[in-house]
Structure formats: structure tokens, C-alpha cells
Chain A
Amino acid sequence: MKAIVWQGTNKIGVETVPDPTLLLPTDAIIKITSTAICGSDLHLLDGVIPSMEKGDILGHEFMGEVVEVGREVKKLKVGDRVVVPFNIACGVCDPCRRGLFSACDNSNPNHRMAEALYGGTSGGGLFGYSHMYGGYAGGQAQYVRVPFADIGPHKIESDLSDEQVLFLTDIFPTGYQAAEQCGIIPGRDVVAVFGAGPVGQFAARSAQLLGAAHVIVIDRVPERLAMAEAAGCQTINYEQDDVLVALREATGGRGPDHVIDAVGMEAHGHGPGALVDTAKQRLRLSFDRITALRWALLSCAKGGTVSLPGVYGGLIDKVPMGAAFAKGLTFKMGQTHTQRYVAPLLARIEARQIDPSFVITHRASLDEAPDLYKTFRDKHDGCIKVVLNPWA
């Protein structure tokens, strides 16, 4: 089959690789009909995520049709149309039973690697996202092996298009969880979202779905700001305005009740080793990214929530903890518990409350993907979200 393969830093190629096979009786094989490039894939392209190996198949946002199931798979059958959460969860461990699927104890075969970096703890596995997260082959390919097939994949039984449901795999639940964990009081609370990439867009629209009185989106890329404005958000271009002053003005001096940092410092990679490597290459960029978190803490209103869907990997300093303490802020963060959100968000799509395809700017084949990684990274050509058709 055809697959997008990581060949080294800044080297991504299309290769013909063997078709995946069932490795465990709880696996399923999915023929992929649509797959996407995610903002966090760019950090694999940049080579700042440690424990990638040449030949790894990328991609964690995908959906398709079940073509084979292991003998212990009970809920899925051949022919089912499914969306597949980007994180892999066993469904039976204590975190899974509490709905903390991304913190699954049992789905990461390389728990040793993550435990060494994160103080004896490891999250669950992820598709196509380095060996620290399990080393699972990803879904920017024609087929993929899906472990724990009764837990992750969710059947789509309505006639919604791929583009309307594909983002249930990651960016919609990620933006939604970010907004949900703010505890928005409908009709009262003002929410600010730093970063108007795909996750920021979904965080802003989710805040609206949850009843925010007003949503303010901060970025510098005109087409991203325009997309947020189209949803009825106020926007601030941080290159043109003093963000803190503009947010005070927009909120009558109170500051936003909740702030979502959808930027993160992903460019730092994960763990102390990556931190040093990355700091060497990217001291300036990382400085920029910490600024988003700093602004979030400084701008947030008293008693507010700072919600972090953006990924933080290592150590950061110069965080204004004094401001956070003085205002009594609450921090909420973590990888998305995608499995928790697929059904309720699918219901919202079916009820026409949101059509997630709004975020797509580019559609392409797998062969065009390596170029589009770069277009997306450089924010050229108005690129916000790329969807790939593996069979085009």
C-alpha cells in the first residue's frame, strides 16, 4: 500500500510498504477513506519530537471502512464505516474507566521510554506519533492496523460526508475539551483563545456551543483571523495590537473569564533531552511560544481558568505564577480524551449545530502530501487544514 513515511528531519516521502496485518485478536484493519495532516505532525517534520525512526508511517487523524477484524473484536464488523480517535486506549484500566482515555495505562508498549522522561508515568499510545507514544504505524496511508478495536473506533451510521466527521478523530474533541474544561457559565463568560490554527478554531466554536457570551481569538495570520470572524468571534492581531491592552478593553477591564492557549510550545518537543536539542536550534521560536502562555496568565480574569490544549513537553521558565496565584486561576490541561467526545460531538454534527468541514482549506492525494506538509508549515497559500484522499 501507499503510505506517508518519516525519512528523517524535514524529509517526508510517499512509499510503497507492506499492507498492515492483524497482530493481536483485538485488532482491526481499516481501509482509510480520508486522513488529515495535523499541526502536531509539523513537529515530526521538524524533527523536534524524539524517538522517531526512519520508516515510521505518519498520521493520526483518519477514518475509513473496516476490512478485517481479529477474533476477539465484538462491536465492529467488516464493512462498518468508522472514525478512529488518535489516542489508543484499552478501555478497562483505571484511567480508562474514569474516562481519562489518553492516560490509558495499558496501550503503550514503550511505557519504559515515557516513564524515563516523565517521572515513572506514561500516557497511552498514539497513532503515528513517535516510539515514546508506542511507535504505532499511523493512518496517512491506504490501510491501518487499529489496536483495541472495540474501544476507539466509532461507527458512523448517518450519511454525513467524511469531511463532516473526520475531525472527530482529534481537532474537534481537542478544541471542545479545551472549552469544556473552562466551565463556561452560559450567557455570562467571555473566553479568549490564543492561536487560530485548527484547534483554536474548534476551541472558539466549542466555547460558542457551550454558551460563551463572547469569544475573542488572538493570532497574526489574516486568513486564520478571518475564519474566526466568520464564526462571529472578535479577533486581535497580536502583531498590530498590544494584546493585554486590547483584551482589557474588550472585557471592560476585567480580562477574559477563561483563556485557552491553543499554541502550546510543541516546538520544544518532549522531555529534557529534546529540550536541550530544541533550545539550541529554536531559542527564538520557543521564546515566542512561551509568550502565548504568559499572555494567557496575565490576561485571564480573577478566578478564571487557563485551559491548555496546546502541547507542553519539557521545562519552561519565566511563567508568571505570581499573577496566576494572585488571581486564583485554575489550570486545566492534558492530551484529549477523544473517546469520551466522539458520540456527543457526532450528535451535535447530526443536529447541524456545527459543520466541522469549515476548517478545510486544502484537499490532496497522498502523493501531494510531502509538499503540503511544507505549505501547511509555512502557512502559505492560506493553508489551515489539509485533508488527504489515499485513493486519489
Chain B
Amino acid sequence: MTQDERSTPTDSTSEHTPSTGAHMPALERSVVGSVGVALMGAGLRSARPLQKLVLGTVGAGLAAMAATGRNPIATALKIRQGAGGEVLVGDAVTIGRPAAELYALWRPLENLPQLMTHLERVEVLSETRSRWTVKAPTGEVSWEAEITADEPGRRLAWQSLPGAAVENHGEVLFRPAPGNRGTEVVVRLAYRPPAGTAGAIVARLTGEEPAQQLRDDLMRFKREQEVGHAPTTEGQTSGRAAKGGEA
């Protein structure tokens, strides 16, 4: 069974067909394509096996990107876009705890900053409305959101309200994992980065990127639930500490 077949029919995010990479303009396609073909040629002509391999691989990659019309950088960075141009982020983790227990930790939205560390705070305004604040390089950014679906023990979905600085929607699914392995926690987010795809690329390159943040958050959540803490080496001894450097 695929993941899509298992998702609930009311699932608001899954209607997007994710596409990997951003579409490239025609000129960019032909330039990238010719560079790719040239590199492939150079690779084939090279007498040195390693050079052959590297040039051939890079060349073939570029040519393929040109042929499919995807922005090679966005593609290389695995930035996924929805049909409407928003950036899609999704990840999943299996946690050895019952779904009801994990759902109960997510449902009080004011607790979310403990689970998703890039969130500065969430203020609950009413049964369904909340105000979300994140730290940005320019200061704080906030927006109002409303809960669009709440199925206790199974699913939670939200959507930013019109006029939000960062338009976004998302959902968390809690699915029983087969074979007594606990719960599959699936998070899907869609957002419109303030500076478009370029903004998403810069964010990815500087490490301030929702896909990586989400992965880190899910792993930390899993570890807190399973082990009670996240493992660490911070503060351990090393030859660096001896010289007054970082430990």
C-alpha cells in the first residue's frame, strides 16, 4: 500500500502533486543542456578513468535537468513545489508510542514551539484560531492561523488566514505503525517563501530551511518520546578543549 492510499480522504494537502525542482526558462534550459552535453563528451574522451566518471556523471545530470526543464539548483537541493508554486515540505518518523499520546502533545498549540524549534510562540486566540510567531533574520514574523481539521488521535490540520506574512498550511497525521511499532507521525507543510524559489534556495543553503528543520524536529521529538532525551556530545572532552578551543 502506498502512503497516498493510506492518507485520509479529508486530507487537504495531499491534493497537490509534488514536483521536484522549479521550472527553468527556455534559455536557461538550453545553456544548461549544452554545458551538460559538452561535459559528457569531454568525459567520454578523457583517458583518465576518474575524470571520465566525474565529467560523465555531472554532464549527464545537467543534460537530464535541461531535458526535464527543472531548475537544477532547486532540483539538486530537492526543493519541492506544489502546482500553485508554494514550497512543499514533508517528512515522517515512526515513534514507539501510541497515537493518542502523541496527538495529545500536539493538540495544545501553545506547546508547539517545544516540538518545532523554529517557532517562537503560538498564542491560542479561540477554539480554532491562533497566532503563530517565528524568528526571521529581519525580526519576528507572525500570522494568524485556524485549525481546519481536528480528528483526535489521527490528524490535525491548519491554514494561515488571508493576509499572512508567510502564507502556509499544513497537517500532522498520526497513523498506527504496523507490527506494534508505535505511531507513524507524518507532517506536511506548504508555504510561500517571501522571496519565491530563490528565497527557498538561499534558506536551504544557509541551513535555515524548513525541510531540514522539520527533520531535526521530528528526530528530536522521537528521541524525547522514546529515550527521554536527545543524545549529545556537546561539552565532551577533546584535544580542542585542551587548547582552549571549542569542546
Q: Which residues of A sit under 8 angstroms from B229, Cβ to Cβ?
A: 24-26
Decide yes or no whether A56 CB sits under 8 A from chain B.
yes
11 inter-chain pairs at a CB distance below 8 angstroms, sorted by A residue, are A7-B239, A20-B236, A21-B236, A55-B241, A55-B245, A88-B231, A94-B181, A125-B231, A135-B233, A136-B233, A276-B50
Contact yes or no, B237 A112, CB < 8 A: no
Contact B231 A15 (CB under 8 A): no
Contact between chains at B241 and A106 (CB < 8 Å): no
Closest 3 CB pairs of A and B: A55-B239, A55-B240, A5-B239
Q: A26-B229, A55-B239 known; 12 other A-B pairs, CB under 8 Å? A: A6-B239, A16-B242, A54-B239, A54-B240, A55-B242, A57-B238, A94-B94, A105-B222, A106-B222, A106-B223, A106-B226, A106-B231
Across the interface, B235 reaches (CB within 8 A) one of A21, A53, A93, A115, namely: A21
Q: Is the CB–CB distance between A107 and B50 below 8 Å?
A: no
Distance of A101 from chain B, by nearest CB (Å)? 14
Residues 87-119 of A contacting B (Cβ, < 8 Å): 88, 90, 92-94, 105-109, 111-112, 115
Q: Is B215 an interface residue (CB 8 A)?
A: yes
Are A90's CB and B243's CB within 8 A? no
* In the complex, B234 has a CB within 8 A of chain A: yes
B227 within 8 A of A: yes
The answer to whether B231 touches A107 (Cβ under 8 A) is yes
Residue contact A17 to B238, C-beta cutoff 8 Å:
yes
Most chain B CB inside 10 Å of its own CB: which residue of A20, A92, A93: A93
B54 within 8 A of A: yes
Contacts of A18 in B (CB 8 A): 237, 241-242
A145 at the interface (CB under 8 A from B): yes
A355 within 8 A of partner (CB): no
Most chain A CB within 10 A, of B212, B222, B223, is at B223
Does A256 interact with chain B (Cβ within 8 Å)? no
Is B49 interfacial (CB 8 A cutoff)? yes
Residues of A within 8 Å of B242, CB to CB, are: 15-18, 55
State which of B181, B233, B238, B240 has its C-beta within 8 Å of the C-beta of A109: B233
Q: Which residues of B in the span 195-241 have a Cβ within 8 Å of any Cβ on A?
A: 212, 215-216, 219, 222-223, 226-227, 229-241
B96 at the interface (CB under 8 A from A): yes
Q: How far is the CA of A17 from the CA of B245 in the complex (A)?
A: 12
Closest to A110 in B: B233
Contact A23 B238 (CB under 8 A): no
- Taking beta carbons and an 8 Å cutoff, which residues of B are in contact with A? 49-50, 54, 94, 96, 181-182, 212, 215-216, 219, 222-223, 226-227, 229-243, 245
Dominant secondary structure of chain A at its interface with chain B: loop
Q: With CB as the reference atom, state the residue of chain B lying closest to A26.
A: B229
Nearest A residue to B224 via CB reads A106
B232 lies within 8 A of A109 (CB): yes
Residues of A within 8 A of B49 (CB): 283
Say yes or no: A56-B239 contact (C-beta < 8 A), given A106-B223, A280-B50, A283-B49: yes
A92 CB, nearest partner CB in chain B, Å: 5
**Closest-CB distance, B205 to chain A (whole angstroms):** 14
Chain B residues within 8 Å of A20, by CB:
236-237
Which residues from B are CB-within-8-Å of A280?
A: 50
Q: Which residue of A lies closest to B50 (CB)?
A: A279
A85 within 8 Å of B (CB atoms):
no
| A interface, size bucket | 35 or more
Evaluate contact between A106 and B227: CB separation under 8 angstroms.
yes
**B226/A90 in contact, CB under 8 A:** yes
Contact B239 A92 (CB under 8 A): no
Q: Is A173 part of the binding interface, using a Cβ–Cβ cutoff of 8 Å? A: no
With most chain B CB atoms within 10 A of its CB, the pick from A1, A115, A137 is: A137
Q: Which residues of A, 47-63, contact B by the 8 Å Cβ criterion?
A: 53-57
A21–B236 alpha-carbon span in the complex (Å): 7
Tell me whether A15 and B227 are in contact in the complex, defined as CB-CB below 8 angstroms, given that A23-B232, A24-B232 are known contacts. no
Q: Find out whether the CB atom of B233 lies under 8 angstroms from the CB atom of A112.
A: no
- Per-position 1/0 for A6-32, Cβ under 8 A of B: 110000010111111101111000000
Take A15-B242, A20-B237, A109-B233 as given contacts and tell me if A93 and B226 are in contact as well, using a CB distance cutoff of 8 Å: yes
What's the Cα separation between A311 and B242 when bound, in Å? 33
* CB atoms of A53 and B240 under 8 A apart: yes
**CB of B222 to closest CB in A, whole Å:** 7
Which residue among B182, B223, B227 has the maximum number of chain A CB atoms within 10 Å of its CB?
B227
**Taking the complex as formed, is A134 at the interface, i.e. its CB lies under 8 A from any CB of chain B?**
yes
B219 and A111 contact, CB distance less than 8 A? yes
| Separation of A140 and B44 alpha carbons in the complex (Å) | 47
Q: Is the CB of B237 within 8 A of A19?
A: yes
- Report whether A15 and B234 are in contact in the complex, using a CB–CB cutoff of 8 Å: no
Q: State A305–B235 Cα separation when bound (angstroms).
A: 45
Of chain A, the residue at the smallest CB distance from B51 is A280
Chain B residue nearest in CB terms to A4: B239
Min C-beta distance of A282 to chain B, whole Å: 11
Distance to closest chain B CB from A274 (angstroms): 14
Taking CB atoms, residues of chain A closer than 8 Å to B50 are: 276, 279-280, 283
Q: How far is the CB of B75 from chain A (nearest CB, A)?
A: 16
Q: Is A3 at the interface (CB under 8 A from chain B)? A: yes
Min distance, Cβ B203 to any Cβ of chain A, angstroms: 16
Bound together, the chains give a CA A136 to CA B236 distance in angstroms of 8
CA distance A93 to B212 in the complex (A): 22
- Docked complex Cα distance between A134 and B181 (Å): 25
**B92 → chain A, closest Cβ, in Å?**
10
Interface contact A108-B239, CB-CB below 8 Å: no
In the complex, A309 has a CB within 8 A of chain B: no
Given the complex of chains A and B, what is the CA–CA distance between A56 and B241 in angstroms? 10
* A56, B222: Cα distance in complex, Å: 28
**Which one of B216, B239, B245 lies within 8 Å of A57 (CB-CB)?**
B239
Closest to A145 in B: B236
A18 to B235, alpha carbons, bound, how many Å?
Answer: 11
CB distance from B228 to the nearest CB of A (A): 8
